[in-house]
Each structure stands twice: as structure tokens, then as C-alpha cells.
A = this chain, B = another copy of it.
Amino acid sequence: MKKVTWIQGGVCAPKGFSATGVHCGIRKNRTKVDLAMIVADKPCNSAAVYTTNLVKAAPLLVTAKNLKNGIAQALICNSGNANTCNADGEAKALVMCEVASKAAKVSPDDVIVASTGVIGQPLPIEPIIRAEKNLRETLSREGSIQAATAIMTTDTYLKEKAVLFEIAGEPCRIGGIAKGSGMINPNMATLLAFLTTDVVISQDALVKALKDVTEDTFNMVSVDGDTSTNDMLSIMASGMAGNKEIKVGTPEYKIFENALFQICAKLSREMAKDGEGATKLITCNVSGASSIDSARKIARAVINSSLVKTAIFGADANWGRIMCALGYSGAKVDVNAVSVTFASSKGKILVCQNGAGVDFSEELAKEILSENEVDINIGCSDGASSVTAYGCDLTYEYVRINGDYRS
């Protein structure tokens, strides 16, 4: 992968963007901001991908309509309520667009709208309406951290990244914020992540890059196997970097796609690492698979297995559970030619070769698995496809959080 430079500033790092996050009152805790807004100086070529869940949050339906012309200029998102499975959901999502329209002085149909939180409870819209002035007054070039904080639910830390790269000598940037951390499963446009960029890029190229990169980044994250109703990933391109317009199939497109991949992969790792109750990031690297589809199936099955997740929580080198998950994944794989290696900053250890156990030091395995970032490397002998999936362990804390989420 081509080197990129990590910079500060999140969604405000690219030229032409402001952001904010305020406490409007959907959450009772006044110290937790709960309403985020991102605003571009001018209308942006924009794109989004959405959950594949049949039950879709009302704001996603409104966003899809607003993005039909490929243009957006602002984004508004509340946490604390998903605005899903509510009869008045779309009407309220439209009100949110109006609020952003007034606060940011943009057209209401150029607004991307999102919500995250509990499903099936009416969204309190009054606090959002009342927040318009506050949003307008706090909007700033340094507001990314506030926006990233405002979209958090059970996340324990904010996720904000920005990347700097060059296109024909012109410095370009992509910034992003994201939130986890439950109801997260691959094979969709996972979770909430909002990206900004200042590149000049054609609408086609932006849509294609977002879709392709999502497959190998956000769609390879799993916290608990539940595909949310509210997942959305969006990107707005201000075009203020002044580069020559990026078009599909050009060298510039490759450079942009690489930078986009790197920031999405970084945010995906963060998402998995901060999965509900997680103590460990689990990265599953599959290589030598018969096809990309089989590689993905194996990586997802392993990363999703409750038995693998609890074993890693317990730092137990119970590799049989990995073979088990591989076996039911639906992948085309020669199970008698599979190897499994655990790795972390403490070293690496081969535990299974040709589909059967090998002698290994339980002490070293325990030491490796006790780190807070653990790799499961699965080697197949079926082809040349490889893939990486991101997940986390399953812990007492996950059960505690989700045993009383609404209360």
C-alpha cells in the first residue's frame, strides 16, 4: 500500500468543512453531546452506502432521496434514539433536515441525516428544533472532535482520523468520524461513519471508490453479528484541493482509493477495538483462499463466532473453535490443508497444520493471546485470495451493557 500521512483535524482536516456537536437533550446526561453537524462551504459531490437490513431507519430513507442528485452540503446526526420503527420517523427526519438547513444556511434537500440509539421509541424532535441556534453558533473549523463525540453511543472513545496525500503535487485530504459499537456485522454498509474530502472528483468515481473500499474495510468488521437498521457511511467532496478532477480508471483514482482505503481500514479497526465490552481487538487474516468470497466467508465466520470470541477473551488457544467456524462458514476450502497461527506483539505461534493440531507451548500461546491486539492468521492452500476481518472478544461487559441497554 502506498504511504499516506496521518494528520489532525478529522472531518475538518479537508479544506472547506466545519463541524460541531452540541447537547440538545435527547440524552438526559447534560455532559454528553448528542447532536452532530458537519457543513461544507459549498455543495459537494457526495455518496453514501446504507444498511442491507430490510428494516431501515427513517433518516436513511430521507438521505437516499436527498442524495439522488449526488449533491449534499451538510450532515446532521443525533445519538440516543435510532428513529427506526416509528410511524412518524420520516416526518421527523425531514424536520432534522430543516434544522440543519437553517443552522448551516444550505438547502434542506442537500442534507444527509442520520440517527443512532434505541430502536422503536419516538424521537423527541423538540430538543433538536431548539438546538438550531446552538448548532449555528458553535459550528467551527475545529469542530470535528465535538461531532465525533456527539455520535457516540456505547463507544468508550471517539473515532476520528484524517489522512494527507498528494495528487500530481496537490496536497489532498480525507477526514472521517465514526461510531460503533454494538449491532455490528459484516456484509453491509456497516455502522455510522461520515467522511469528508477536499479532492475534486467525479460523482461516478466517488460512488465507486466508496462502494469498493467499504467491501474490504467496514464490511469486514463485526462486533456481535447483528446488522443494524441504521448503518450508513457517507462522504462529501468539497473539491477545494484544486487537483485535476479524479475519474474512474486513472492513476489519480488509484491514489485516492488507496487513501480512502487506509482511513476506512483505520476507522474499522477502531470500531472493532471499541466493540461493546471488548478488551481485545481481533484481526483475522485469511490467505491462500480459493476466492475472495471464500476468504471473506472464513474471516467473517471466525470473527463472528461466540466461541472463538470467548476463547480469545480467556486467552485460551482453543484453535479447534477456529477450525469449526471455518468448517461451517460456507467457504470452499480444503480443511485438511489449513494452518492456524496466533500472533501479537509478544510473538507468533503455529497451533494447527494440515487441519490437525501440532505441539505448541501453551505458556507462549497464553502470553501472545493476553495482549490487547491479537491476530488469527489462517493459511489455506486453495488459491491466492486473501482478506482481513476485524472483530473483538465477547466479554462479561458485553452482556452487562446489553442486558440493560434501554434503562
Which chain A residues numbered 180 to 226 have a C-beta less than 8 Å away from chain B?
Answer: 182-183, 185, 188, 224-226
Residues of B within 8 A of A182 (CB): 307
A357 within 8 A of B: yes
The complex places the Cα of A356 from the Cα of B121 at a distance, in Å, of 9
A256 within 8 A of B: no
A327 within 8 A of B: yes
The complex places the Cα of A166 from the Cα of B70 at a distance, in Å, of 70
CB-based nearest B residue for A118: B320
Residues of B within 8 A of A404 (CB): 314, 316
Min CB–CB distance A8 → chain B (angstroms): 35
- Which residues of A are at the interface with B, using a C-beta cutoff of 8 A? 52-56, 82, 84-87, 118-122, 182-183, 185, 188, 224-229, 304-307, 310-311, 313-314, 316, 318-321, 323-328, 333, 335, 352, 354-357, 394-396, 398-407
Residues of B within 8 A of A227 (CB): 324, 327-328
Question: B405 contacts A324, CB within 8 Å?
Answer: no
Q: Given that A54-B333, A318-B406 are known contacts, is A226 also in contact with B313, CB under 8 Å in the complex?
A: no
Question: A399 contacts B395, CB within 8 Å?
Answer: yes
Which of A228, A402, A407 is most buried by chain B, counting CB atoms within 10 A of its CB?
A: A402
Min CB–CB distance A120 → chain B (angstroms): 4
Extra pairs beyond A85-B320, A314-B402, A316-B403 (16, CB < 8 Å)? A53-B324, A53-B328, A54-B326, A55-B324, A119-B318, A183-B321, A225-B225, A225-B305, A226-B321, A227-B327, A227-B328, A229-B320, A306-B394, A316-B407, A396-B396, A396-B399
Residues of B within 8 A of A53 (CB): 324, 327-328
Question: B118 contacts A318, CB within 8 Å?
Answer: yes
Question: A85 contacts B356, CB within 8 Å?
Answer: yes
Q: Given that A396-B399, A399-B310 are known contacts, is A316 also in contact with B224, CB under 8 Å in the complex?
A: no
Residues of B within 8 A of A225 (CB): 225, 304-306
Which of A55, A229, A357 is most buried by chain B, counting CB atoms within 10 A of its CB?
A: A55
CB-based nearest B residue for A355: B85
Question: B314 contacts A226, CB within 8 Å?
Answer: no
CB-based nearest B residue for A309: B402
Question: B306 contacts A224, CB within 8 Å?
Answer: yes
The complex places the Cα of A327 from the Cα of B56 at a distance, in Å, of 8
Min CB–CB distance A186 → chain B (angstroms): 11
Question: A403 contacts B310, CB within 8 Å?
Answer: yes
Min CB–CB distance A278 → chain B (angstroms): 12
Residues of B within 8 A of A354 (CB): 87
Min CB–CB distance A115 → chain B (angstroms): 12
Min CB–CB distance A354 → chain B (angstroms): 8
The complex places the Cα of A74 from the Cα of B333 at a distance, in Å, of 34
Question: B402 contacts A55, CB within 8 Å?
Answer: no
The complex places the Cα of A122 from the Cα of B227 at a distance, in Å, of 38
Min CB–CB distance A342 → chain B (angstroms): 13
